[in-house]
Structure 1
Amino acid sequence: MSNSVTEYVVVGDVGGTNVRFAIAKDPKRYGGSVEIEEFWKSPNVNHETFSDALAVFLKTIDVKPQRGVFALAGPMKGNTVTLTNHSCWKVDGDQIAQQFDIAEVLLLNDFAAMARSVPELSLGSGLTNLAEGSACKESPIIVAGPGTGFGQAALLPEADNKWRVIRGEGGHQAFAPTTALEAEVYKNLFKRLSYVSVEIVSAGVGFETLLEVMFEVFGVSSQKLSPQQVHDLAKTGDKVCDAVCRIRANAVMTAYGDAVLAFGAKGGVVAAGGVTTALSDFISSPEALSRFYDRGPMSSYMVNVPIHLITSAEAPLIGAAAF
């Protein structure tokens, strides 16, 4: 690897649970496809601050990057971000630039970077099909899904093969129950929280509360289970765990369909996030797909809208470099 101070940009993907860094050859200078090197991942709890984590990573590489682009799971205020689900980390891009002698540091929302990665990926190389369809190339693409939180963005095609990213907070839209079981779960969640969002039902941040409520609804003694244990038990036919997985998957697919209608996103949906990947069997089930495609008088609008799943763990880093 070259030691040029102008050749590489350090990129980062910072969620509520893990931080990931890598080095990318600066696409502004070198063109071509975006490729990353020196992928590094660590739990946030291993580091007191974002700066501490970045310092550890930079010691593992033999280049001095001139630029930095970091995607973080939180709302932007200028060039600063406080992580939504790890609020002890507040990141100031200008301060990071000064501390590490980096000429330019840009902070992005994590789903803006996730969305921007999509044009750099392809089926079989970072993407896989969840539902076949025919994308309209002139229409927006929705990139969304639950991890620790629920992120959402729209990717808009522009002239000269350029892309515009519109970032929103779709995960905080209200959860809308459509079955008797979901209505009962909603009622119990509402008693505890007073506002029930898609994120609370589907993402990691609400998992423990949802599980407790599901045990209450089924009249079963509560257990402390990890998401993986719930998934494993669901596969054995456990009624409570199966219901947990189904309600999460159905909430995700309902949110995807809502976003397609809101944005006119005939370009399709790209599902993202660690929870989405873990629930992929449930998300691709006929029950969940019906939540996406069955839209009453607007069902015909949803015909042939494809759904893909991001399979690359490096996608937000690729998107940050491309951005």
Structure 2
Amino acid sequence: MILAGDIGGTKTNLALYDWPTERVEPVRLETFLSADYKSLEEILEEFLTPPTPPMLLDEIDAAASSEGESNEAPAPPEPVTLTAACFGIAGPVIENRSKTTNLPWVVDGAAIAKRFDIPRVQLLNDLEATAYGILLLRPDELEVLNPGSPPPQRQALALIAAGTGLGEAILFWDGKSYRPMPSEGGHADFAPNNDYEIELLRYLRSQFLHVSYERILSGPGLNAIYEYVRDTKKNEPTWLAEKIKAGDPAAEIAEAGLKGQADIAKQSLDLFASIYGAEAGNLALKALSLDGVYVAGGMAPKLIKKLQDGTFMKAFVNKGRYKRLLTNVPVKVVMNQKTALLGAASVAAALSHAPAL
């Protein structure tokens, strides 16, 4: 049995797999709210030692009758024997150790291996894990924004994902297979493309010492865009202000924008999608990812209608002399929300089948 995890700033997904050689469904999958725990080890402790299920009254009576009125408690479940584990972490991984970006955690692969008696534990950047996952996706788990026209010979792929933060990764072709390479490109400087975006940068600089793409292309970033539009256009309806205050700001803004319920929300989504497309195009140029760009993360499936209306792709190809080149780059949206978990599982499976050290 192998263990896979996708460790995000908002939630942590853990799953057990009996993975032979090809993709399989998890034997068990659970989701935890990351902020409710002090460490990944605390979540693993809960996940790997599930409580003994309570017995129903008729089961207790039957057991008592067959065992001479015995009052012994049912035996606890057998502990899971793990051969390998892999975790995608939202943060840089250095020497199999990571200080998470949006959580006050330090995750150490060696410490986890020792505590839970797992022979091999590998940590990956979360986008690196997602990159492994996209190589296993089925066509029905993708939405095509641009079919493109990739060259006959294999080239690089790129991956960008907005969620709690913004992640980026590159997959290079080594002659036999794609090799994911992690990146922290989401923390690079935001580069505005027009006067309206320049004013957005000025607005955010009044709040942050460093304005990265993640400050804009994320759940909190959509809320920051909304506040910028609100404070410049003064067009916030009272009902929406109350919903945002009471609920999840990004979710409320997205819902109102997608349903066309408020101009301020539609304008915020327009700006978000345009900047998202521009940065995806930047990544495509930097990686020369002629085989395609994948748009993943928690926000893309929820905003798929907005990503499909042309705003994203218009900004993606708007690179002057390189417009023709980027028009030929396939762009696909990852609809499977467990892609990072799938990628981590594939790495754990490879570790479990590798020769002993």
TM-score using structure 2 length: 0.81
2:106 is aligned, of 83, 90, 103, to 90
Find the aligned partners of 2:150 and 2:336 in 1 and give their Cα distance.
21
Distance 2:188 2:167 in 1: 11
Q: Which residue of 2 aligns with 1:269?
A: 293
Deviation at 1:34, TM superposition (A): 5.0
Of 33, 40, 49, the match for 1:50: 40
User: Which consecutive unaligned segments of at least 5 residues does structure 1 have?
Assistant: 1-7
1:18-167 matched pairs, under 5 angstroms: 18-26=11-19, 30-33=20-23, 35-60=25-50, 63-86=80-103, 88-124=104-140, 126-136=141-151, 138-160=154-176, 162-167=177-182
Aligned-partner residue type, residue 123 of structure 1: P
Task: Identify the residue that residue 315 of structure 2 maps to in structure 1.
Answer: 291
Structure (1 or 2) with the greater strand fraction: 1
Query: Could you report, residue by residue, the CA deviation over 1:234-288 in whole angstroms, capped at 9, with x for unpaired residues?
Result: 2224222112111111111111111111111111111101122222222222222
Paired with 1:34 and 1:108, the residues of 2 have a C-alpha distance of 21
Displacement of 1:35 after TM fit? 4.3
- Do the aligned partners of residues 207 and 290 (structure 1) sit closer, same or farther apart at CA in structure 2, a change above 3 Å counting? closer
The Cα shift of 1:304 comes to 2.4
RMSD: 2.0
Which residue of the partner structure matches residue 250 of structure 2?
Answer: 227
Amino acid at match of 2:264: V
Aligned residues between the structures: 310
Give the whole-Å Cα distance in 2 for the aligned partners of 1:135 and 1:55. 46
- Please name the residue that 2:8 is paired with: 15
One-letter amino acid of the structure 2 residue matched with residue 94 of structure 1: A
Give the Cα–Cα distance (whole angstroms) in 2 for the partners of residues 128 and 173 of structure 1: 27
SS at match of 1:159: coil
Using the aligned pairs only, state the percent identity.
Answer: 26
How far the C-alpha of 1:117 sits from its partner, in A, is 0.9
Q: CA deviation at 1:220?
A: 4.5
The CA deviation string for residues 176-227 of structure 1, in whole angstroms up to 9 with x for no partner, is 2223322222221122213322111111243443332221111356936221
C-alpha distance in structure 1 between counterparts of 2:24 and 2:294, whole Å: 19
Q: Contact (CA 8 Å) 2:88, 2:129: kept in 1 or not?
A: yes
Which SS does the other structure have where 2:124 is aligned? strand
Partner of residue 56, structure 2: none
- Please tell me whether the aligned partners of residues 225 and 272 of structure 2 are also in contact (alpha carbons under 8 angstroms): no
Query: SS state of the match for residue 148, structure 1?
Result: coil
Bigger radius of gyration, 1 or 2?
Answer: 2
**Maintained 8 Å contact 2:16/2:29:** yes
Determine the C-alpha separation between the residues in 2 that align with 1:78 and 1:34. 29
Match of 1:314 in 2: 338
Amino acid at match of 1:307: V
Change (3 A) 1:41 1:135: farther
